[in-house]
């Protein structure tokens, strides 16, 4: 049987570049090579695409992040510059390689461009954060008319924007904490009004950039004096800010979703962070954070978390995979939907993979299922008419 050529796109321009590299390394290490031919396609931090000479090594997220902090130099492009053709073509990727001219028509030191094409059967855009998980790359893949893993343009963009996400969640009747959202222009015009309005949420509150993941730029505000600096920090990462009321004595529960029109859910798990909340350092650098899978919940609570996970998945019209995060009050047992991640961390020790492993789906089988779901969704879209004539 002919192997499917799978383009694994990783890296990207976002603050989650290093996490994406680690996710891709796990895919290359564990993908079934009797069925698939994986192709490494790396997006550098400056946005350049390269057909990498070799796939990323299977390092931990902490190691990749520490390496980037020690030597945050210019990107080293170990590969050929490549572009994704923004139209249906047998050559999905167009690669440009510069070689010395040797045909006798020019001096040997003059370069000539050698353009080659590479066809892909399916793409796995294991990109986290803006310019990758937010619908931008998904839109490019739609133009190329190539099957790809994960939600489409709408779900990806809605899942990235926490303010839009919450509006859709509210429209679906999902339980949410009280929250406020505003953009930089509103803050600059009337910060006193916004601070007063946020005051009605009580303390503590969480201040977040609306369009970022991995808890980058998030602050827990426990005193009035901390609010303005927290908002200013969030505005360094995004023009839009979301402020959420904190749940006192909260548990952090997560549930994985897999499927297209008939999604399945994993057993829920619980995150026990090493810090006051599950911030970037606690997720990737501290060794004290741990997970409990399955979470210690009653049968009724498990059923409710799974029901809400599917409802959140459907509310943004997701497909393929997502991880839904919850806050649960230890005092009252109330469950609140916090957010949905349309391309969650995808290493073998990431919560998404661990939740499915505990539910009976191992990592290689998970990759296989996602590729099949991508093909099925693409086949369904090919049934649609593209002309009214």
pLDDT digit string (tens) for 323-372?
Answer: 999 999 999 999 999 999 999 999 988 999 999 999 999 999 999 999 99
- CATH 3.30.470.20 segments of the chain: 158-175+248-381
- CATH 3.40.50.20 segments of the chain: 4-148
Poorest-confidence range of 49-58, 96-105, 235-244, 338-347? 96-105
Give the CATH architecture of domain 158-175+248-381.
Answer: 2-Layer Sandwich (3.30)
Residue 71: pLDDT band with limits 50, 70, 90: low
Report helix, strand or coil for 78. Answer: coil
Residue with structure tokens 């004096």?
225
- CATH 3.30.1490.20 segments of the chain: 179-245
Cα dihedral 81, 85, 86, 90 in deg (nearest 10) = -160
Residue 255's pLDDT is 98
CA distance 263 to 274: 32
How many residues comprise the chain? 389
Residue 233: pLDDT band with limits 50, 70, 90: very high
CA distance 305 to 326: 8
Question: Nearest CA to 20 among 72, 53, 55, 51?
Answer: 55
Q: Looking at domain 4-148, which of 3.40.50.20, 1.10.3720.10, 3.40.50.150, 2.40.50.140 is its CATH number?
A: 3.40.50.20
- CA 250 to centroid of chain Cα atoms: 24
Cα dihedral 198, 204, 210, 215 in deg (nearest 10) = 170
**pLDDT at 102 exceeding the cut of 80:** no
Give me 212's structure tokens. 């970022």
Question: Which CATH class name applies to 179-245?
Answer: alpha beta
**Higher per-residue pLDDT: 110 or 369:** 369
**pLDDT at 50 exceeding the cut of 80:** yes
The average pLDDT across 51-66 equals 73
CA distance 356 to 360: 6
Q: Taking each helix axis as running N to C, give the angle between helix 363-381 and helix 17-30, from 0 to 180 degrees, rounded to the nearest 10.
A: 100
């Amino acid at each position: 049987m002919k192997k499917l050529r799978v383009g694994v796109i990783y890296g990207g321009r976002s603050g989650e570049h290093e996490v994406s590299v680690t996710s891709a390394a796990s895919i290359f290490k564990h993908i079934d090579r009797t069925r698939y031919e994986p192709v490494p396609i790396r997006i550098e931090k400056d946005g350049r695409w390269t057909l990498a000479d070799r796939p990323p090594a299977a390092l931990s997220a902490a190691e990749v992040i520490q390496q980037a902090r020690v030597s945050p130099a210019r990107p080293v492009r170990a590969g050929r510059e490549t572009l994704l053709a923004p139209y249906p073509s047998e050559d999905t990727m167009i690669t440009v390689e510069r070689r010395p001219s040797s045909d006798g028509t020019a001096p040997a030191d003059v370069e000539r461009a050698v353009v080659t094409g590479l066809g892909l059967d399916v793409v796995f855009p294991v990109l986290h954060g803006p310019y990758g998980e937010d619908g931008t790359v998904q839109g490019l893949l739609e133009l190329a008319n190539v099957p790809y893993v994960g939600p489409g343009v709408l779900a990806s963009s809605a899942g990235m924007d926490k303010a839009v996400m919450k509006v859709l969640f509210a429209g679906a009747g999902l339980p949410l904490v009280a929250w406020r959202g505003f953009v930089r222009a509103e803050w600059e015009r009337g910060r006193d009004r916004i601070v007063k309005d946020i005051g009605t949420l009580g303390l503590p509150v969480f201040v977040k950039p609306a369009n970022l993941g991995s808890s980058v730029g998030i602050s827990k505000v426990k005193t009035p004096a901390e609010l303005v600096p927290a908002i200013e920090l969030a505005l360094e990462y995004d023009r839009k800010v979301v402020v959420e009321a904190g749940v006192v004595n909260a548990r952090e529960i997560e549930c994985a979703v897999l499927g297209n029109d008939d999604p399945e859910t994993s057993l829920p798990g619980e995150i026990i962070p090493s810090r006051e909340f599950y911030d970037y350092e606690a997720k990737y650098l501290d060794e004290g954070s741990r997970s409990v899978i399955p979470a210690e919940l009653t049968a009724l609570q498990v059923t409710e978390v799974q029901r809400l996970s599917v409802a959140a998945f459907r509310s943004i019209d997701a497909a393929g995979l997502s991880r839904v995060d919850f806050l649960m009050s230890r005092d009252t047992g109330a469950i609140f939907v916090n957010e949905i991640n349309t391309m969650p961390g995808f290493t073998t020790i990431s919560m998404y993979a661990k939740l499915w492993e505990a539910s009976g789906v191992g990592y290689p089988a998970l990759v296989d299922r996602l590729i099949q779901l991508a093909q099925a969704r693409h086949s369904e879209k090919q049934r649609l008419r593209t002309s009214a004539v």
